[in-house]
Amino acid sequence: MIGDLISFDSSWLVIGALVVFVFFAFPYVAAPFIVGMTLRFRLPAQVIRVDPQQTPLPEDVRLYFDQAYHVLTANGFVLLDVMFLPTIVPNVRSLLAVYVNRRTCDAAMSVFMLAEGPMSTVRKRHVEFIRRFSDGTLVQTNNSDELGAFPPKPHEHTTQFAQLADVGRLYAIHCFLARKLGGMSTPVLRIDAEYQGNDLEYVARVAIDESLTAQIKTGYLMGSPQELRPTLRGAVIMAWQELWPAKAIRR
């Protein structure tokens, strides 16, 4: 009788352990499959100029862009354009305002993203500063709370301050990091040097297309000149790094 009871209890412990294992393991199996099947990057990137006078922005977007505008122009930046990116990633739409500071050779973007999920729409916003150097070094500083999906390229330094809402202070930190990490090379403003001030072409070719096609060499993406998709390795890494405990460790 006692032996039967012990055997009965042990079997239920095994079943319970299996249920717990499947519960926690399922996301690690399903997530890479979902990423591999659904994530597509369409190239060349579609970038549309938006005139807020002709096409009024949603109120929360307008307020955020207005706040960033006043701080950025006070720090020597000039607004070039407001742009809409409708098709880079499925279910994600982005609005961005693009600035340059020709005295320091910095570019800046204030970004507002709408990620449409099955239950709700998530709004994300951040400001990013970018300084490039003649030796290929790139220093970019932002206050986004989204972790990057891809590994950084050589000589690329990205620093995030997710809790820092003060755009003026963020820019001061960016200037410090650019002086520290840029070495003795000369800052260059690629919008002017390579694209003659055509900021739509710059955003499409440099900020988006170059960044994505560089991930072919890392083994994260593959595909054609019209569309990139994750490799098996890329899908697994991109999915797993967004799950617990990897995401908590990365943060």
171-210 pLDDT, tens digit each: 999 999 999 998 788 999 999 999 999 999 999 999 999 9
Percent of the chain scored above 90 by pLDDT? 62
State the pLDDT at residue 119: 59
Q: CA dist 249 to 13, 66, 142, 195, 233, Å?
A: 31, 35, 20, 40, 20
Least confident of 69-73, 117-121, 155-159, 210-214: 117-121
Q: pLDDT band at residue 5, thresholds of 50, 70 and 90?
A: very low
Under a CB-based contact definition with an 8 Å cutoff, are residues 99 and 107 in contact? yes
Instruction: Among 162-171, 176-185, 221-230, 238-247, name the most confident range.
Output: 162-171
CB 83 within 8 A of CB 47: yes
CB atoms within 10 A of CB 178: 24
User: Token pair 């070094």 is at which residue?
Assistant: 137
Please state the pTM of the whole predicted model. Answer: 0.87
Q: What is the per-residue pLDDT across 58-111, written as a single tens digit (0 to 9) for each?
A: 999 999 999 999 999 999 999 999 999 987 777 788 999 999 999 999 999 999
Give pLDDT, residue 13.
72
Q: Encode pLDDT of 7-34 as tens digits.
A: 555 676 777 766 665 666 778 888 998 9
Answer whether residue 250 shows pLDDT above 90: no
* pLDDT attached to residue 244: 83
* Residue (of 124, 127, 132) closest to 161 by Cα position: 127
CB atoms < 10 A from the CB of 116, how many?
Answer: 12
Supply the mean pLDDT for the chain.
89
Q: Which residues of 133-167 are buried (b: 16+ CB within 10 A; e: fewer)?
A: beeebbbbbbbbeeeebeeeeeebbbebbeeeeeb
pLDDT of residue 98: 97
Per-residue exposure over 219-251, b if at least 16 CB sit within 10 Å of its own CB, e if not: ebbebeeeebbbbeebbbbbbeeeeeeeeeeee
Closest-CA residue to 127 (of 112, 116, 114, 115): 112
Q: Which residues contact 52 (CB under 8 A, 6 or more apart)?
A: 62, 82
Determine how many CB atoms are found less than 10 A away from the CB of residue 57. Answer: 18
Which pLDDT score is estimated for 49? 95
Q: Of the candidates 239, 192, 238, 236, which has an alpha carbon nearest to the alpha carbon of residue 212?
A: 238
Quote the pLDDT of residue 118: 61
